[in-house]
Each structure stands twice: as C-alpha cells, then as structure tokens.
Chain A
C-alpha cells in the first residue's frame, strides 16, 4: 500500500510534470488543428491521442493523411519513428525503482512520451521512483488529450477563432520543444552534440539529393539515426550507471 512518502513522490512528479503538460497542451492543440483539417472528429482525434500519444508520430501520421498517403505508408513511417520509444522505455524500465507491479509498469510505459521521458531520465540520477514517474505521466498525459480536443474544436470552428497565421505558428510548437530538449543536452556533452549534428546532416543530405529525397521520411530518419548513433557509440562508449559496466 502506498504510504505518505510515496504520495509525496507522486506529487513531486506532478509538479515537475506540469511544465511538460503545458508544453503538451500547446503542441497537441496544433496537432488537433491539423487533425481537423484531415477530417478527424473530436472522438476520432481523442482516440488516436489516447492510444498513440506520440507527438512526432501523430503529426507525421496526420500530415501523411492530408497528403494522401496510403495506410501502409502511415504505419511504416510510425513504425520507424516510434522505435525510439523502445529505447526510452528500456531505459526507464532498467532504472525504475523496485516493487512496481507488472501491470503498473505497463501502464507507466503506455503513458510515457518524449518530454516526460527526458525530464525523468535527465532530471533524476540513478533510480527513478515509480510513484514519481506515475505523477509525471498522470499530468502530462491529460495535457496531451485536452489540447488535442481543443485543437480539433478550434480547427473545426475555422479561421474565425484562430487565424491561419496563428495555426501555422502553433505547428512549430513541437519542433520548438524538441530543440529545447536537444540544445541543452548538446551543450553539456560533445558526443551528444556530435550525434545530433551528424544525424541532422545526414537527414538533410538525404532529403536534398534529387535521387533520394522522395523516400519515406521514416527511412531517412532511420538511416540518419543508425549512422549517427552507431558512430557515436563506437567513438564515445557510454555507461549510464555502475550496473551497466
């Protein structure tokens, strides 16, 4: 049974997760606006955000939808884009404090997305308390859902509520958040800086060359990711904790 200190950890998670929730609110509103353009109803959009909870993945899926891509292409792109969640949840799983029941671990995994993961793994040293992680996700997850619904409603209301320029401006929100995650990390670590630079360079290169620029975005991201991360891992092996050595 959870004792008082467990609740304290939970609420600390909620506190630390509040900025994440605010960020998700804005990003998901931008997503909702795009979903409205793609013809999603509020329920359909909410369903996707509740089950998928993937900022980049949902954006990619919806924009491919608008561009007329096939279901296969949408799923394939997400299969590649979302692969990072396997690594993120592996990291969380390895560092989660003991005593967490299996069903609870699964729930934590299900509700963990990019920024929540970053806050938890970068902000905490060593073990991540599972009450803390739950608190974090329990405020971040609804933020994403509320924004999605809000965005769809506003999108359907048309440009009377939100001008086209404002809609376009909000679509940069997710990228702004990612940049906000990448730059501080790059500042602190030369290997990380290298990884980021190499991955972006390869991706830009692939998308610029006439012969490769039309391949599925998922493939170019995969190639860039694999090349950059393997190079970095070879040049600068990284050990997270003593247990990894």
Chain B
C-alpha cells in the first residue's frame, strides 16, 4: 500500500465520524443555550482562522495572494454568491502575476 493510500485511510478516521455520527445520534436532542451558540459561531471562527494568515502564503507570493484576497473581499461585499468571490480571486491573482508582482 502506498503512503498516499495509507494517509487517506488514516484520515477517514478523523473525517467520516465527524460527519456521520451527528446524523445518527444528534437528531432531536436538546442542548444547553451556550452549546447552541457554539454550534452557530464555531464554523465562522474556523473558516476565519483557516483563511488568515494562510491565504497570504497560498500562492507563494504574498503580494499576488493579497490581490486575490482583496478581490474576493470586495466582490463578496456586494454579492452573497461565493462563486463570484472565488472566480474573481483567481482572476485577480493571475492578473497580479501577469503584471509582474
């Protein structure tokens, strides 16, 4: 078995249970208000920590990455559709490379 496959199989243990167990067991259970609040806020906190500061090193060049991130930010101020933010960020980054940044 290659290491690639081994890593994938190991990762299954830290991915699939997170997704499937709640579908089986959470259902109608009531949680304390603080926990309900956590349920609501944690995804935003995680996504935020995932983006910053790693976005700046994602393209190998902080300048081009900043252009992309900025483009995404600007678009998403006016549009709720994250597809546009994503597309514009790729285009802006490529444009920044092309401009020689």
Question: Are B20 and A175 in contact, CB atoms less than 8 angstroms apart?
Answer: no
Which partner residue on chain B sits nearest A207 by CB separation? B53
Q: Known contacts being A82-B18, A105-B24, A176-B89, is A168 close to B11, with CB within 8 Å?
A: no
Question: Are B69 and A232 in contact, CB atoms less than 8 angstroms apart?
Answer: no
Question: Are A89 and B19 in contact, CB atoms less than 8 angstroms apart?
Answer: yes
SS class, residues of chain A in contact with chain B: helix
Beta-carbon contacts under 8 Å, B1-36 to A = 2-16, 18-24, 26-31, 33-34, 36
Question: Are B11 and A196 in contact, CB atoms less than 8 angstroms apart?
Answer: no
Question: Are A165 and B98 in contact, CB atoms less than 8 angstroms apart?
Answer: yes
Question: Are A168 and B93 in contact, CB atoms less than 8 angstroms apart?
Answer: yes
Query: Which residues of chain A are within 8 angstroms of B89 by Cβ–Cβ distance?
Result: 172-173, 175-176, 179
A192 to B26, CA, bound (A): 24
Chain B: interface size category? 35 or more
Question: Are A184 and B80 in contact, CB atoms less than 8 angstroms apart?
Answer: yes
Count A-side interface residues using an 8 Å CB cutoff: 108
How far, in Å, is B29 (CB) from chain A's closest CB?
A: 8
Question: Are A26 and B90 in contact, CB atoms less than 8 angstroms apart?
Answer: yes
Query: Which residues of chain B are within 8 angstroms of A240 by Cβ–Cβ distance?
Result: 36, 39-40
Most chain-B Cβ atoms within 10 A of its Cβ — which of A81, A86, A180, A220?
A180
Question: Are B5 and A179 in contact, CB atoms less than 8 angstroms apart?
Answer: no
**Which of A78, A106, A169, A229 is B97 in contact with, Cβ under 8 Å?**
A169
Q: Known contacts being A71-B6, A200-B51, is A221 close to B46, with CB within 8 Å?
A: yes
Q: Known contacts being A173-B86, A184-B80, is A199 close to B49, with CB within 8 Å?
A: yes
Q: What 0/1 readout, one digit per residue, does chain A (225-245) give for beta carbons within 8 Å of chain B?
A: 110111011101111100111
A117 to B22, CA, bound (A): 14
**Which of A26, A217, A233 is B38 in contact with, Cβ under 8 Å?**
A233
Most chain-A Cβ atoms within 10 A of its Cβ — which of B6, B50, B94?
B50
Question: Are A176 and B15 in contact, CB atoms less than 8 angstroms apart?
Answer: no
Q: What 0/1 readout, one digit per residue, does chain A (49-93) give for beta carbons within 8 Å of chain B?
A: 001111011000100010000010011001101111111111111
A234 to B40, CA, bound (A): 12
Question: Are B18 and A85 in contact, CB atoms less than 8 angstroms apart?
Answer: yes
Question: Are A195 and B22 in contact, CB atoms less than 8 angstroms apart?
Answer: no
A residues neighboring B (CB under 8 Å): 19-20, 22-23, 26-27, 38-41, 44-45, 47-48, 51-54, 56-57, 61, 65, 71, 74-75, 78-79, 81-94, 96, 102, 105-106, 108-110, 112, 114-115, 117-118, 165-166, 168-187, 191-192, 195-200, 202-204, 207-208, 217, 220-221, 224-226, 228-230, 232-234, 236-240, 243-245
The 10 A-B residue pairs with the shortest CB-CB distance in the complex, in nearest-first order: A180-B85, A180-B82, A176-B89, A233-B37, A109-B23, A183-B76, A169-B94, A176-B86, A179-B72, A199-B45
**Other contacts beyond A199-B44, A233-B34: 11, CB < 8 A:** A26-B90, A45-B4, A54-B15, A93-B22, A171-B58, A172-B58, A179-B85, A182-B48, A200-B51, A200-B53, A245-B33
